[in-house]
Structure 1
Amino acid sequence: MSVVVVQHASAETPPTVRRLLASAGLSTRTVLLTDGADPSPGLSGVEGLIILGGPRSAPPADPALVRDALAAEVPVLALGSGVRLLAEGAGAAPYSGPRLPADDDRTVELTPAARTDPVFAGAGRPSPGLRPAADPLELPAGAVVLASCDGYPEQAFRIGASTWGVRFLPQDETAPALGPWGEELLGRFAALVTARAEHTATRAFFTRRADAWEERFAYQTPAYESAVSRMRLAPGRRAVDLGCGTGRAMPALRAQVGPAGQVLGIDVTPAMLTAAARHGRTGHGHLLAADCTRLPLPGASVDGIFSAGLLDHLPDPHTALREWARVTAPDGVLLLFHPSGRAERAARHGRPVDPSDLLAEHNLRPALESTGWHLEAYEDTPTHFLTRAVHS
């Protein structure tokens, strides 16, 4: 797992940053901001981003990498003057105006929102030696203030669920130590990066491909329609397209459950859901960003789950199957599908069929039976893979 540390060429990466990341099992890669260049070609293999400060005189940097990280919900932590790049990448106006006068008597206090924040929760009062930043700042739209100070701009904030800006930690061209409070904060951020690594990689991979996904795989639409027909849901039932991507199965699900039924498309990548909406899938059902192993649905609330190309890519498929059983009503249907068979996919990647593959029948059947499902049909042909199971 890797974290990219973005900094100006004249800055020095504090050894504390590398040590705390390494203690969480994270390697670091430094990207230097020079001459306003785009700092990186992409986010492949990156689980987190840390933006350190640099001299106020440094040239402005292209925030393309930051915009990409925000779109893919890669965890980002900007410290000190590194918040400038974060704010601009998030769409806020660039810093302008004079610095406010320094006041050594003012201290930073956490806001009530910090108590439930994924990184700030449990943090004590910031050290008295951490003085407020005095640069004017326009917060990005929707930002949640986590630390502030009377008469000074907001000192720390969160954007969405994965991005933090902390202005009062003194990261500048001299790169002093973070201090105990800053080290504790960075340690919690590193732990969050590690915990979210699997989802971060998924979002980064599919965010880059979301815009072209529908056109690239449009030829598979008849195969999806045929697979959905095997669910045999009655009109008025409730169906979920799980790991829906651009929602290619949603029109067929809507046709099956009829206008009185309910269709929900769920995916962990917001960019895919944006593409789904652009292609009119909201006309067939609702779209929801969620983790398929922690579904925000009541127990026994759906009658059928359609899932294409998802289960065998999950780090803990047994947990996922149990969760899918939890939300499915008795005798509800689970249909696992892929528009090509296991042998064809293995050959495409230049490898033999793996007998330990979860989707092999001798592995999938016990996995289903032990998590609340009864296998009714198993097909692994050159043209498709399909499994139909019923909630037992």
Structure 2
Amino acid sequence: MSDEREHVQEFFTARAADWDSRFPDDGPAFAAAVAEMGLREGDRVLDAGCGTGRALPPLRAAVGPAGVVVAADLTPAMLEAAVRAGRDRDGWLLLADVGALPLQAESLDAVFAAGLVSHLPQPSQNLRELARVVRPGGTLALFHPVGRAALAARQGRRLTPGDLRTEPNLRPLLSESGWRMTSYADEDARFLALAVREG
């Protein structure tokens, strides 16, 4: 495992046990973001970097009992927290690196990724791997329950022009990774960028 991946794993392992209690009001924001993805009954969706699985209930509701929900995370403690919360009932939990997914090419209709982009060690390559497992025309949702400015304020830091999540940085990054951005919202109450898998 690379040093960057180990750092990510250490960061989230230390926070897994109380992650949900630190952000108890995020549920509706997750549900609203999933609703904007346009998922249909029977779709196959991946929650990439699923953490404690807060997106799994709305993803399962969107794809219904016939759909497939897979949730991948690098950190065992986060997946254990998802099981304790009962979210494993809504999808398959997979201990995996989103940079090298054990999934077939074009096997999914969509990917949901909450808070993932800023933790990717190789953003272009990692987003290309997400594109690999999604069919052409499929959807990617990059989400965070608060916008960039609100998150920076919460963490006591300043926004920088180099932030991958700014629209001028994210649009070309997605484009070179096999995605075409279709919408971008960076508001205090949420960050949501939607993209379509190029054919």
TM-score (norm 2): 0.96
Decide which of 3, 16, 21 is 1:210's aligned counterpart: 16
The alpha-carbon deviation at position 352 of structure 1 amounts to 3.1
Look up the match of 1:170.
none
Look up the match of 1:310.
116
The alpha-carbon deviation at position 208 of structure 1 amounts to 2.1
Q: Does the CA contact (< 8 Å) of 2:5 and 2:121 recur in 1?
A: no
Q: Does 1:334 align with 2:140?
A: yes
- The secondary structure found in structure 2 opposite 1:337 is strand
Ranges in structure 1 where 5+ consecutive residues have no aligned partner = 1-194
Number of matched pairs:
198
Decide which of 249, 252, 262 is 2:58's aligned counterpart: 252
Q: Does 1:299 align with 2:105?
A: yes
Q: Does the CA contact (< 8 Å) of 2:101 and 2:129 recur in 1?
A: yes
The alpha-carbon deviation at position 213 of structure 1 amounts to 1.3
What is the one-letter code of the residue matched to 1:290?
A
Look up the match of 1:229.
35
CA distance in 2, matches of 1:214, 1:350: 21
- What's the CA shift string for 1:321-379, capped at 9, x where partnerless? 10000000111000000111111122233343211111110010011111111110000
Pairing of 1:319-358 with structure 2 (within 5 A):
319-358=125-164
CA distance in 1, matches of 2:157, 2:9: 26
CA distance in 1, matches of 2:5, 2:172: 26
Look up the match of 2:178.
372
Decide which of 167, 191, 199 is 2:5's aligned counterpart: 199
CA distance in 2, matches of 1:311, 1:305: 13
Say which structure, 1 or 2, has more relative contact order (CA 8 Å, 6+ apart). 2
The alpha-carbon deviation at position 211 of structure 1 amounts to 1.5
Look up the match of 1:219.
25
Higher share in helix:
2
The alpha-carbon deviation at position 218 of structure 1 amounts to 2.2
Q: Does 1:272 align with 2:78?
A: yes
CA distance in 2, matches of 1:287, 1:218: 22
- The secondary structure found in structure 1 opposite 2:61 is helix
The alpha-carbon deviation at position 203 of structure 1 amounts to 1.7
The alpha-carbon deviation at position 287 of structure 1 amounts to 0.1
TM-score (norm 1): 0.49
Larger radius of gyration: 1
The alpha-carbon deviation at position 244 of structure 1 amounts to 0.5
- The secondary structure found in structure 2 opposite 1:240 is strand
CA distance in 2, matches of 1:383, 1:285: 27
- The secondary structure found in structure 1 opposite 2:194 is strand
- The secondary structure found in structure 1 opposite 2:21 is helix
Pairing of 1:158-173 with structure 2 (within 5 A):
none
CA distance in 2, matches of 1:201, 1:372: 27
- The secondary structure found in structure 2 opposite 1:315 is coil
The alpha-carbon deviation at position 230 of structure 1 amounts to 0.7
What is the one-letter code of the residue matched to 2:46?
V
What is the one-letter code of the residue matched to 2:30?
Y
Pairing of 1:122-161 with structure 2 (within 5 A):
none
CA distance in 2, matches of 1:221, 1:382: 16
Pairing of 1:178-197 with structure 2 (within 5 A):
196-197=2-3
Distance 1:285 1:381, change over 3 A: same
The alpha-carbon deviation at position 204 of structure 1 amounts to 1.7
CA distance in 1, matches of 2:106, 2:60: 20
In percent, how many aligned pairs have the same letter? 52
